[in-house]
Amino acid sequence: MQSILIFSLMVIALLLAVPQGTVAYVGPGAGIAAIGTVIALIGGILLAIVAFLWYPIKRLLAKIKQKRVNENDQEGTPS
């Protein structure tokens, strides 16, 4: 019986400690600023990912191009 009472008191204390949801008005200026911030954050993250992946791809393409140029040079020179 005592454990049920302690459990009930703990549940009540937990429910009282959780804040209640509130309804608030966000004006147009603050709303546009918040949306702009989220868009900028997502864009920055995507740009960082693309930049991180682009450098190795660019080196690979340059290596392939250099290999083609070397093969073409070898074919054109008389042996």
pLDDT value of residue 48: 94
Helix (H) or strand (E) segment spanning residue 4? helix 2-17
Residue 36 CA, distance from chain mean position: 16
- The more confidently predicted of residues 39 and 3 is 39
The torsion defined by the Cα of 41, 47, 48 and 49, in degrees rounded to 10, comes to 110
For 5-54, the pLDDT digits (tens) are 999 999 999 888 887 777 778 889 999 999 999 999 999 999 999 999 99
pTM of the model: 0.50
Residue 57 tokens read as 């791809």
Report the 10 Å Cβ neighbour count for 35: 10
Q: Is 78 helix (H, G, I), strand (E, B) or coil?
A: coil
